[in-house]
Structure 1
Amino acid sequence: MMQTIAKIDNVTHKYKGAAENSLDGVSLTIHKGETILLCGASGSGKTSVIRLLNGLIPHYYHGDMTGYVTVNGHDIAKTQLYELAGIVGTVFQNPRSQFFSVDTDGEIVFGPENIGLEPKEINARKEIIAEQMKLDKLLGRSLFELSGGEKQRIACASVAALLPEIILLDEPSSNLDMQAVSMLHDIICEWKKQGKTIIISEHRLWYLKDIADRVIYMDKGRIVREWSGNDFAELSEEETKQMKLRPTNINERYLALLSGNDESGSRHTDVSDGIILREFYFSYNHKPCLLRRKIFTAADGDDLSLCIPKLTIPKGKVTAVIGSNGTGKSTFLRCICGLEKDCTGVIISKGKEYRKRQRIGFSYMVMQDVNHQLFTDSVEKEVLLSMKEKDIIRCHEILDTLGLLEYKGTHPMALSGGQKQRVAIASAIAAGAELLLFDEPTSGLDYAHMEKVGELLRQLADSGSTVLVSTHDPEFIELCCDHTLRIKKGRVDSLD
């Protein structure tokens, strides 16, 4: 007989200030050693279930709640969060929200230090976790220097170092490249062998189909369907689409491409009509002199974080910018739009040159962490802010297309991560720039909203805009991208 380690009993919950319930009569029994996958569209209640199990509901996220939750014999409503530290570990969608240190080593050992372990035991745990998760290249580094995917790996390591009985993961792969997803898959398998109970809320499903014992499908705060892991893996692409889920199987060609395992080698597509990038050089290690700044050239070689003597981007097309975490994709986009002020480089379009500050007006970028570019107190005002000439009708059309019209009066910071991402995309569309840059726009999005973003990028390209989109999603590339541009160590490795 399987031992119950956690139980959610008829829970209904509404966040403070919300109009609708986040959970509606949810009941779920979790057995010791089980691996459960929670799936469903954005806003279906997956993250709220995670918050029930780690105690953030009701102790941090206040609101109206009925029903009961027990975890390893503890009544969650009567148990303080610190009492759950050695029982439940959580990896959040945005790893920055759970960091307490400024360097990787300090973050990994923070949990064990906090529960009072001996220094010898703390160091032993760090070494074991670092070896298991292949973190040797990330140790001894500042957290501020890491890419989004690298931060997620450190967040996983910091949770694993506490050796909890239950591990909760909320969209753990959203910012990871294919190699890192493969590592995450192996780590979850290792946790499973150790007898851990694992609950994963995810939109990416293909890498978990051989791991999950049970799959729970949620919709509008309710558990609607349940499958065994094997039965779920057999669902057709049409069946998953109908439930607004990403596919359980991915085109092997795109997996190989994103993993860097395709055997076709370095190559470049001939581009007759395009936007030319010339002499784009940049280094994060550059320290300007007091009287003058160093002018970078290709001769600086390996010292450069970005080294692109010349590149022609296909005009009026959607080009996927691919490459491993930390290889320079975000740096590439930031340099193009002028966010990195020390970056040299000229953009040439229709015979006109754009330098330094001029690049800012020529392009518009949607950042990976959209919290950095949400400024107003309503969704409607946010989109209008990007327009050269205010157009309420056009604003509402864009919001309606992205499924955001009902939130036009809502403060952007009150939205979910996926909704914030869509607001930023709406602002980019409204800006009408000639070159549009998107840094991981589909991370955290369900299939339906990913499809909408893909359709919008296609419309933008068809209307004459040139789109560069950094992505790790093979589904998204297959959906809307005309070309792929691989960045490797700040250099252009291939353009297909």
Structure 2
Amino acid sequence: MKLEGISFWYEGQKKATLQNINLEIQKGEFVLLCGGSGCGKTALTRVLNGLCPEFYPGKLAGKYTFGGENMTSLPIREKSLRIGSVFQDPETQFFTTKGHDEIVLGAEQRALPPGLILEKLAELNRLLQLEGLYEKSLFTMSAGEKQKIAVASVCMLSPEVLVLDEPSANLDPASILKLGEILTELKGLGVTIILSEHRFHYVKESFDRAIYMVDGELHTAFTRAEILALGEETLLRMGLRSFEAPMLQLNYDSPTEDGIFCEGKNLCFVYKGSSIFNGLNLKIPNAKVTAILGENGRGKTTLLRIIAGLHKPASGEIFFGGKALSKGGRIRQSFLLEQNGNNQLFSNQVEKEFLIDVPGQNSEKIYGVLAKLDLLQKKHAHPLSLSGGQKQRLLVGISALSGKQLLLLDEPTSGLDAMNMHRISTLLRHNAAKGQTIVVVTHDIEFINKTADFIIQL
């Protein structure tokens, strides 16, 4: 694969998202795309797989060849035969309603022999532990479970090149390591891998080169040895996370009885006859940051929605300040930031998003939060034009100024580089110090170590 002078402008934008990209990738090479949120990594993956400009309208300039063939002149259906893609938001690539059907759909459409499909399915199940998801509805899966299905469905097709955009974003630690195993195995089979990521530890031993991007340009190409030799402080200045696997440093302390903001007693939640959790008891301390941990599919997102008043438990009660509250009462006291940020953006300007929940907010406070999150320059931009990480930061900022007593965050650091993860952590610690109670569902151990006061394990 060879890119020569590639630039791309999204439709309606004056500034190029990608600028004069020159990059050559050898067959079987494992290339890591890294850089701060919004640096152009996702746009580059979309050029490689043909989504820019066929699906995302805009202007593409420069030359892109694959094995000597001009890729810019090929329709996307031809590109997809050679290049498989795993997107940042797995929902955008689903076509069926059940796990098994989604995994095998592409292979069936290309008329692979049934025996080969079963063989590939067995191998993927061994690596990603998929069997429990075969009959599960895609609509009820956790984000991590959806990502597993997306990775498996693409790997079923044995593409020459695999392009992945932050596939680890919502996976639990064990699943991230399994993803690293399957990428290493695919590399061993000769598959060319291009991985856009903020978390690197799970591919530390397998990638060949790291391409560091800044503001839409290729800033530096590192060999694996060169980038691994950089110190932690240097990586942080570059906006990059550590290449070392993070270890949980926080103890599982219990809050004191006089400092409880929210308590759940004997909570049970059942969906379509299956118990998600049963007899669950938990205590959320007042004016602290509590992290909820657990494997994908354990009901962490469901628990947040129960606390927020969006779901009703089959049995058990939720107490706020020692009083049992109805769903409506919990909704009035809570702000829930869900995993898919697109579903919670409604305005046509970034700064106007702050006014939807709390009309008439002080502009100085809004600009102050945007500055803390490195988004002030985006105050007049359309929220949906932001990168995934920028949307995430915007929504955390909105929640911080919502005035709600309880802030519930579901994977707030997915898609965030090291610098912006630290910005979010600082903002949440500041709000907790001012009296806001914060609950975070996350698999981000680095973030937990920096931010949380207490841990709940599901």
TM-score with structure 2 length normalisation? 0.94
Identical counterparts, % of pairs: 39
CA distance 1:310–1:184, change in 2 (3 Å): closer
CA contact (8 A) 1:317 1:466 kept: yes
CA distance 1:310–1:123, change in 2 (3 Å): closer
CA distance 1:379–1:146, change in 2 (3 Å): same
Task: Find the residue that maps to 2:284 and give its secondary structure.
Answer: strand
CA contact (8 A) 1:53 1:71 kept: no
CA distance in 2, matches of 1:419, 1:181: 23
CA contact (8 A) 2:172 2:294 kept: yes
Q: Any stretches of 5+ residues in structure 2 without a counterpart?
A: none
**Counterpart in 1 of 2:393?**
422
Partner residue of 2:309 out of 330, 338, 342: 338
**Counterpart in 2 of 1:36?**
31
Task: Give me the CA root mean square deviation.
Answer: 2.1
Give the Å deviation of 1:27.
0.6
1:281 paired with 2:283, answer no
**Counterpart in 2 of 1:479?**
450
**Counterpart in 2 of 1:225?**
220
Give the Å deviation of 1:29.
0.7
Deviates more, 1:147-156 or 1:407-416: 407-416
CA deviation vs aligned residue, 1:230-289 (integer Å, no higher than 9, x gap) = 2222221101011011122244345xx8xxxxxx9x8745454111414353423367xx
**Counterpart in 2 of 1:436?**
407
CA distance in 2, matches of 1:309, 1:129: 33
CA distance in 2, matches of 1:366, 1:459: 18
CA distance in 2, matches of 1:343, 1:393: 44
Task: Find the residue that maps to 2:413 and give its secondary structure.
Answer: coil
TM-score with structure 1 length normalisation? 0.87
Task: Find the residue that maps to 1:326 and give its secondary structure.
Answer: coil
Task: Find the residue that maps to 1:357 and give its secondary structure.
Answer: helix
CA contact (8 A) 1:336 1:359 kept: yes
CA contact (8 A) 1:384 1:391 kept: no
Partner residue of 1:456 out of 417, 427, 437: 427
Q: Which amino acid aligns with 1:377?
A: N
Q: Which amino acid aligns with 2:413?
A: T
**Counterpart in 2 of 1:470?**
441
Q: Which segments of structure 1 move beyond 6 Å, counting only runs of 4 or more? A: none
Q: What are the equivalent positions in structure 2 for 1:95-134 lying under 5 Å apart?
A: 95-134=90-129
Q: Which amino acid aligns with 1:55?
A: G
How many pairs are equivalent?
Answer: 458
1:23 paired with 2:18, answer yes
Task: Find the residue that maps to 1:467 and give its secondary structure.
Answer: strand
Q: Which amino acid aligns with 1:279?
A: K
Larger relative CO (CA 8 A, sep 6+): 1 or 2? 2
CA distance in 2, matches of 1:185, 1:95: 18
Q: What are the equivalent positions in structure 2 for 1:318-357 lying under 5 Å apart?
A: 318-342=289-313, 346-350=317-321, 352-357=323-328
CA distance in 1, matches of 2:145, 2:424: 25
CA distance 1:26–1:483, change in 2 (3 Å): same
CA contact (8 A) 1:58 1:77 kept: no
CA contact (8 A) 1:250 1:475 kept: no
CA distance in 2, matches of 1:431, 1:344: 30
Give the Å deviation of 1:204.
0.6
Task: Find the residue that maps to 2:63 and give its secondary structure.
Answer: strand
Q: Which amino acid aligns with 1:100?
A: F
Give the Å deviation of 1:343.
5.4
CA distance 1:357–1:144, change in 2 (3 Å): same
Give the Å deviation of 1:388.
6.1
**Counterpart in 1 of 2:194?**
199
Task: Find the residue that maps to 1:90 and give its secondary structure.
Answer: strand
CA contact (8 A) 2:255 2:284 kept: no
Give the Å deviation of 1:40.
0.3
Q: What are the equivalent positions in structure 2 for 1:45-56 lying under 5 Å apart?
A: 45-56=40-51
CA deviation vs aligned residue, 1:21-72 (integer Å, no higher than 9, x gap) = 1111111110111111010011212112212221222322332222101123
1:213 paired with 2:208, answer yes
Give the Å deviation of 1:414.
2.3
Give the Å deviation of 1:399.
2.2
CA distance in 1, matches of 2:380, 2:280: 46
Q: What are the equivalent positions in structure 2 for 1:54-453 lying under 5 Å apart?
A: 54-254=49-249, 268=254, 270-279=256-265, 281-285=267-271, 304-308=275-279, 310-342=281-313, 346-350=317-321, 352-387=323-358, 390-453=361-424
Deviates more, 1:57-66 or 1:450-459: 57-66
Q: Which amino acid aligns with 2:301?
A: S
CA distance in 2, matches of 1:453, 1:418: 11
CA deviation vs aligned residue, 1:454-484 (integer Å, no higher than 9, x gap) = 0110011000111111111111112211111
CA contact (8 A) 1:280 1:308 kept: yes
Task: Find the residue that maps to 2:8 and give its secondary structure.
Answer: strand
Q: Which amino acid aligns with 1:430?
A: L
CA distance in 1, matches of 2:100, 2:68: 33
CA distance in 1, matches of 2:276, 2:302: 8
